[in-house]
Amino acid sequence: MNPHAKLISIMSLLLGTTITISSNHWMMAWTGLEINTLAILPLISKPHHPRAIEAAVKYFLVQAAASALVLFSSMSNAWATGQWDITQLSHPMSCLLLTVAIAMKLGLVPFHFWYPEVLQGSSLTTALLLSTVMKFPPITILFLTSHSLNPTLLTSLAIASTA
């Protein structure tokens, strides 16, 4: 991969993570998540091997579905409450949709089948990025909204994921 393209991808990863972590508005958090998804795709598909391309497509499809759920959750919460602030998540359906979206983005147990296949199709460095840096933005959103989310559901997802 061209060193300039690699630098742009790494800087975009840092930019998307920073935008998501520092945002209070749902649209900015979603934008940061999308920048992260689009920045990691060239790194996943870098080897130009069919398995790497398959991993990139799987990663893109799962992350796009999860991002659509985040966007739908925030829009339904804004429709019900009139608030676009991340910490003001109060609509029950929005809370459930956001929990599902974050579980998909993190690769938690009911939605984890894509994760090992993407890691197998990636290089070691890219798999390390997927397992660490790409988890920071969804975990930050989870922490910002944890007061509104169902603690029983979160605990069961955590226990099932560790098992």
Beta bridge partners of 85: 25
CB 24 within 8 A of CB 38: no
Q: pLDDT at position 23, please? A: 93
pLDDT tens digits along 80-133: 999 899 988 989 999 999 999 999 999 998 888 999 999 999 999 999 999 999
Q: What residue ranges do the domains of the chain occupy? A: 3-162
Q: Is 149 left (phi over 0), alpha (psi -120 to 50) or beta?
A: beta
Statement: residue 134 has pLDDT above 90: yes
Report the C-alpha gap between 53 and 48 in whole angstroms: 7
Q: Which pLDDT value is given to residue 3?
A: 87
Share of the chain above pLDDT 70, in %: 100
Q: Kindly report the pTM of this predicted structure.
A: 0.92
| Greatest distance between any 2 Cα atoms in the chain | 47
